[in-house]
Structure 1
């Protein structure tokens, strides 16, 4: 009997050690977020974060603004100007807003204030051009709908023009539109990616017949779809070492009836130990073709202190869902 108990205890300890290796139970405490950006001649195998420009959250502590963090950057270029839209959290003001930075050269940015605020939390402001008009799909899960905004006078005066998906708390919805494919991917509260399709931006968005391409520690979109030659590349958050640890890249290949998905780059972005602004992690990436080259923006956060916190339920849940994802891929 004692031998059996001993074997069970050894197996249990081995299991805990294995789970802790995959997704640590103790994690560092992270602090505020800042932005980075740069150019590339082609879709990079890696991003030289140490050589790129950083727009720290401290840059916005002007006029008693008291910025706590700036995160989730998306950009567009209109004529000769770069526009970065980002989640802007100000101290003592609970709902985060959408802020704006502009630049003529893609290197030197100026803060232009708030462009969108609501009574509920806003983040993840994916801005895109559709039929010569500018639209935005921010994360509006606090409103329990996926809302579409239109700029009445770009880059300002954003107004709700449609509710794309109703009665759902969808995290970080990422959209892709084309003549043959229209999709929205987002994550639910159960760490599962939800995939929707429609015949147009203003069509009837419904769950795909295979609605859950990813689940577990890598299931939440972390940026815009990039249209590559042989599929769509989607940055996906890696939460194996806590929320906001890194970004992996997944490729989606769609056909008329279904799709295939595969990881093509593990931890494309991750914590940068030697860069104070990003030494806790990174969780957002937007890459687009601009004037014959690629331009990208991303975010990262810094360690709040040297303390760690214990996470049990989240680690067990992520490992369980990762195991289900592994079984699904067999």
Structure 2
């Protein structure tokens, strides 16, 4: 039963650039500043960030097992990584996660996962980082999980996983402009592999290669991050070369059961690590209480 397994995630700010971590092939040598949820049965995951005015603006999924829904929160940290302020910045009637935040065309954008809405939506910052508006002209052909855009070779490219194949399929779409029209480069996946086909962070360049972080879900959801490299000029027919394999460190126990985001933020790198609880009495009570309320409402 799902209620017997509770996955909790926390955020980490690694004090090293993502290229340095990739070259080391491990997170163990680097110092990490951790941020955890401040309420039971809640977690923080999928961190993405932007540095502005000597501050780190960190965005993440905030999930609550009571509502079974995630919202997007923003943290503002100073240069010493002290939290100045944080609050919820985006909430919808459906689950939100993976708040991919990036700068392009003089604006700041967010492309969160919200596939249960039936579509992929792009948001523009109107009062960064606290206020966002949906971009109505954005057009994508389908709902998408962990959609990750990158600009290369004069075009926009979107790596994503279709909802029908949550952990083992990677698709790629292309558009001349960020707002679309987006079209898949092929009706077939560019990769099918449960150990390396769901996006897990920001693409980056190293030694002339485009590196994309993908999740290894072969043993557990979000078990580790694998880095795949490819030549930017071959995106129409991508061929991947496996690179570093990154896992949560045992020194970070009990949050050492998974790692599924690796995102660049200036001279720092953002990660999340997982703790698995088995048979949590609190979680069981919450789920049973929800089931009882649903049953009562059906018979009301």
Range into which the TM-score falls when normalised by the shorter chain = 0.7 to 0.9
In the other structure, the counterpart of 2:91 is 117
Whole-angstrom distance in 1 between the partners of 2:12 and 2:144? 26
Structure 2 residue 60 is the aligned partner of structure 1 residue 86: yes
**Cα 1:158–1:266 shift into 2, 3 Å:** same
Structure 2 residue 258 is the aligned partner of structure 1 residue 281: yes
Whichever of the two has the greater Rg, that structure is: 1
TM-score scaled by structure 2? 0.81
**Cα 1:224–1:257 shift into 2, 3 Å:** closer
Whole-angstrom distance in 2 between the partners of 1:305 and 1:49? 26
In the other structure, the counterpart of 2:271 is 298
Could you report, residue by residue, the CA deviation over 1:245-302 in whole angstroms, capped at 9, with x for unpaired residues? 00000112232773333233242x22433322432111011024x3xxx310000111
Write out aligned runs for 1:145-294 (5 A): 145-162=119-136, 163-166=138-141, 168-178=142-152, 180-188=154-162, 189-190=164-165, 191-209=168-186, 211-217=188-194, 218-255=196-233, 258-267=236-245, 269-288=246-265, 290=266, 294=267
Secondary structure at the counterpart of residue 255 of structure 1: helix
In the other structure, the counterpart of 1:10 is none
Secondary structure at the counterpart of residue 49 of structure 2: strand
Structure 1 residue 144: deviation in Å? Answer: 1.4
In the other structure, the counterpart of 1:23 is none
Secondary structure at the counterpart of residue 84 of structure 1: strand
In the other structure, the counterpart of 1:48 is 27
Secondary structure at the counterpart of residue 116 of structure 2: helix
Could you report, residue by residue, the CA deviation over 1:100-145 in whole angstroms, capped at 9, with x for unpaired residues? 1111115323441101000111000001111221110000111111
**Cα 1:39–1:271 shift into 2, 3 Å:** closer
In the other structure, the counterpart of 1:320 is none
In the other structure, the counterpart of 2:288 is none
Secondary structure at the counterpart of residue 251 of structure 2: coil
Structure 1 stretches lacking a partner, 5+ long: 1-27, 308-330
Structure 2 residue 74 is the aligned partner of structure 1 residue 97: no
Native 8 Å contact 2:140 2:180 kept in 1: no
Whole-angstrom distance in 1 between the partners of 2:6 and 2:73? 22
Secondary structure at the counterpart of residue 93 of structure 2: coil
Could you report, residue by residue, the CA deviation over 1:20-42 in whole angstroms, capped at 9, with x for unpaired residues? xxxxxxxx956200011123265
Structure 2 stretches lacking a partner, 5+ long: 281-300
Native 8 Å contact 1:36 1:52 kept in 2: no
Whole-angstrom distance in 2 between the partners of 1:145 and 1:131? 23
Structure 1 residue 91: deviation in Å? Answer: 4.4
**Alpha-carbon RMSD:** 2.4
Native 8 Å contact 2:74 2:130 kept in 1: no
Secondary structure at the counterpart of residue 192 of structure 2: coil
